[in-house]
Amino acid sequence: MFEFLFKPARVKPDLSFIGVDMHSHLLPGIDDGLKEPDQSVSFMKQLTELGYQKLICTPHILTDLYPNSRETILPKLDLVRNELKKAGLVIEIDAAAEYMIDHSFAELLGQSNKQDLLTINNQYILVEMSYLAPSPNFEQVIFDLRMLGLTPILAHPERYSYYHKNFEAYERCVELGCKLQVNLLSLSGAYGPYVKKTAEKLFKKQMVDYLGTDMHHEKHLELLQDLATRKDFYAIVASADIKNKQLLNN
């Protein structure tokens, strides 16, 4: 009886209003995401069935753990494109990166120009921070990226628990010219109630620019497929100015 009362209302899954996933770990064997090319093909097929038209893969670049670069990421992109072609699947995919804001990234910026970085549409760059503490050089890095002509997109800000009771920190990110990308699974409660509450607050304050799957593994895919059938999810995002579809233009 009580289980029935709290059962969420369901609808036909349709994420076509997002159109482009700009944060995922679908390239195989390169970070903590998928491991095999056949997994990449399977996941990408299922994401297009949910309504995605383009998938931008963003492997971690974290020097001590995932020391990726153009030389490791772009060959994986070519590999998956070939596997999709062999499978007869027409799916538009691209690759950028998810850069950890740390000392190594600051050094890289000092040695690089815009063309050296793995960006989204040569205009945006996806960045993240540790879940344990904010990057001490965050504001300087954001400034340096802006000076390179890039717009930073901060990945999953709702997951930074040190900001949960300091909402002004999110407002400061926006003031600095940073776009905010919320993980879809945060809205499902997959990362816990506090993350979900913060994500919903960011939506209420019209601060969310992008939605990402941050897809790593099978459980993430199952949770996303479930979320995409929940009527309450569509109600939360209905009034937001989600900009993912703008990334359809290369």
Residue with tokens 């895919």: 221
Q: What is the mean pLDDT of residues 76-89?
A: 98
Distance (Å, rounded) from C-alpha 227 to C-alpha 233? 7
Per-residue model confidence as pLDDT tens digits over 164-185: 999 999 999 999 999 999 999 9
Report H helices in the chain.
2-5, 37-49, 70-86, 103-111, 138-147, 168-175, 193-204, 218-227, 231-237
Distance (Å, rounded) from C-alpha 62 to C-alpha 129? 10
Q: Structure pTM? A: 0.96
Per-residue model confidence as pLDDT tens digits over 148-167: 999 999 999 999 999 999 99
Domains of the chain, CATH where assigned? 16-248 (3.20.20.140)
CA 70 to chain centre: 19
Residue 3 has pLDDT above 70, yes or no: no
